[in-house]
Structure 1
């Protein structure tokens, strides 16, 4: 599944209609959550029936396309099923009980309610909300795909405008020559990552860099009267600063992950639980700013695209164990050099990257993994457990 995004242009009344559709989606989702709370034994099909019931009861809900209403109920069931899955797996801490949504920013249509122009330069939304024809501007080319390959169309509101996303049913596969290289990655805060060859990539720290503009924009919001138009404008400026930082972090993760995957046949990294790590209030901001989880997600995605092997290993003792003799040398976070009695003296992160690579290569069943099918060798569902990318 590919997702192509285009900036959209229209009149103010069209954007007001989009906002109305977005509020309607939020209303339907919250109504479904409330229905499930009153009827805990209800299932996915019971929630789907609620979309038709709400359309008959509320005229503004009937104005929204039927497939968009169904997509809203699917969002509600997604939150409910995730809560059930967390309870069954008995994860520690909160289980994610479904909450009422307050800041929905998108509306999703399925195969009806929209019509793409022949030149693929505009799109018309045909439901009763009155969105109408919107111009599209982007770098992606939709002419390569048939209209029946577009399974979903999503309208997204962001701080800098409105966007249209096309979800296209196509499997992306690219063929590259084997590099005969394996690498282990140790992510950190001083450097974004250190590989098993000793190479380091600088941590860009986009949040820290944009902190000055962010503080100034936040002060402007605080000075304005609540509910005023000037406060709304100040909030939009603050949102654009946050949006730019998130885009910078995403772009950095995509480019770096693609470079790592295309340069190596096997990539080994730590199976870190970022959710637990950010509980340390001293390092939470720096860890969140680094974007390790996003980098890992793109590593796994490009691993499937290029047919590379990605392995997530247990992070326990990777920074304490000696890469030469295997002895555990305890050290604090402030100790940046690994010194062992066997004579091994390495940078702490370099030593950890070597241990990560050895742990990945020593996974049970690794023999002959270069001959495995790429769909079994890497992917989101194959990197949850240690060596799970080789279970196929």
Structure 2
């Protein structure tokens, strides 16, 4: 440990203090459920360097660690289009070595602004996440649930049985444990890849996205649905939706999930139904619609209302400071009225 670069040791301490601070912050804010008590591990699977202790060769294919740990020079293998050599060395702020089940990986944290020129489509959408279908949108389109874990479950059980039969401490047990870890890693990567590609396709084809602000941590407490909810990986998908929405500079609005499936999207009448009822039938207006599509339409309506209220509140704030030519951030009146015009277009 003494031979490790001082900034690498500091980065490890920073992560520990961040976990402790986050725990006490959750306690002070009285966050419901688990507070995230820090879990300190004896053996870490990663080491992180900041701006010293490493040197990237000019070809961008070799990385040399210059501290006393004896890591030496590593050959970088990856996609040449995403090579870190395309960035100036001054923009590389952190370098991390991570151990996975199938080998070692090098991660680079690069300081760069990513902005994608979004092509306007004039389309707004609400999505209702589910288990039968991954999600149903307000236009009636569905995305199939891939069920990565369910498809790999039999093989995982077989590998678990094989591991349990090996003698502890033997080389065969290490091999069996490595095979099991690789199988779990494959499922994890499949989930991540699907969530990322699906979120990217959703954002690039719409100008506004509304989704339910689900409490997934509370939902997985249902012992009948917990495995399926975890397999769907909704949290990862929503993280990518919010990320791509930020990159494309379009609004992604979280909507309270209460009564989105019960209220009629045609007239607003509350029609109570159990989870087993998959068709919405409104006795007031006669609307017959798939349950999830009805919820997606309600989510879109709620998202548009929230967007309009946010724009209206911003306009009121500007009116309160109309006596001066500029507000505290230096914006003029012309720049503050643009969000309201956008909101009125969506409301229409």
1:355 aligned to 2:298?
yes
Pairing 1:286-305 to 2, within 5 Å after superposition: 286-305=228-247
Who is 2:345 aligned against?
none
| Moved beyond 4 Å, runs of 4+ | 366-369
1:55 aligns with none
- Alpha-carbon shift at residue 335 of structure 1 (Å): 0.6
Q: Deviations over 1:178-234 (max 9, x none)?
A: 111100000000000000000000000000011121111111111101111111110
- Mind listing any 5+ residue stretches in structure 2 that lack a counterpart? 315-333, 340-348
Distance in 2 of aligned mates of 1:327 and 1:89: 36
Q: Identify which of 365, 368, 381 aligns with 2:310.
A: 365
Q: Which residue of 1 aligns with 2:26?
A: 86
Q: Are 1:346 and 2:286 counterparts? A: no
- Show the counterpart of 2:163: 221
1:150 and 1:217 map into 2 onto residues whose CA distance is 40
Supply the distance in 2 between the matched residues of 1:67 and 1:299 (Cα, whole angstroms).
34
The alignment partner of 2:20 has SS state of helix
Q: 1:217 to 1:124 in 2, by over 3 A?
A: same
User: Is this contact kept in 1: 2:128–2:299, CA < 8 A?
Assistant: yes
RMSD of aligned alpha carbons: 1.7
2:55 paired residue among 101, 112, 115: 115
Q: In structure 1, the residue corresponding to 2:264 is in which secondary structure?
A: coil
Structure 2 CA distance, aligned partners of 1:102 and 1:355? 49
Residues 90-99 or 333-342, more deviating: 90-99
Answering whether residue 203 of structure 2 is matched by residue 258 of structure 1, we say no
Deviations 1:277-305 (A, max 9, x none): 00001000000000111010000100111
Which of 90, 94, 114 is residue 148 of structure 1 equivalent to?
Answer: 90
Which residue of 2 is the match for residue 195 of structure 1? 137
Structure 1 Cα separation of the partners of residues 19 and 199 of structure 2: 29
Question: Residue 264 of structure 2 corresponds to which residue in structure 1?
Answer: 322
Match of 1:211 in 2: 153
Q: Distance in 2 between matches of 1:321 and 1:224?
A: 56
Q: What TM-score does the superposition give when structure 2 sets the normalisation length?
A: 0.87
Is 1:234 the counterpart of 2:183? The answer is no
Cα contact 2:263–2:271 (8 A) shared by 1: yes
**TM-superposed deviation, 1:259:** 0.6
Secondary structure of the structure 1 residue equivalent to 2:310: coil
Work out the number of aligned pairs and report it.
Answer: 313
Tell me the residue number matched to 1:178. Answer: 120
String of CA shifts for 1:151-180, please: whole Å, max 9, x gaps: 000000000000000100001101122111
Gaps of 5+ in 1: 1-60, 377-392
Q: Distance in 2 between matches of 1:130 and 1:94?
A: 40
Say which SS state the counterpart of residue 108 (structure 2) adopts. strand
Deviation for aligned residue 1:141: 1.9
Q: Distance in 1 between matches of 2:30 and 2:7?
A: 34
Residue 99 of structure 1: how far off its partner (Å): 3.0
In the alignment, is the contact (CA less than 8 A) between 2:123 and 2:207 conserved in 1?
A: yes
Q: Which whole-Å CA distance do the structure 1 matches of 2:34 and 2:335 have between them? A: 38
Cross-structure match for 1:246: 188
SS where residue 94 of structure 2 aligns? strand
**Alignment counterpart, residue 104 of structure 2, candidates 158, 162, 167:** 162
Secondary structure class of the residue paired with 2:168: coil
SS at match of 1:365: helix
What residue is the counterpart of 1:98 in the other structure? 38
Deviation at 1:100, TM superposition (A): 2.5
- 1:88 deviation in Å? 1.9
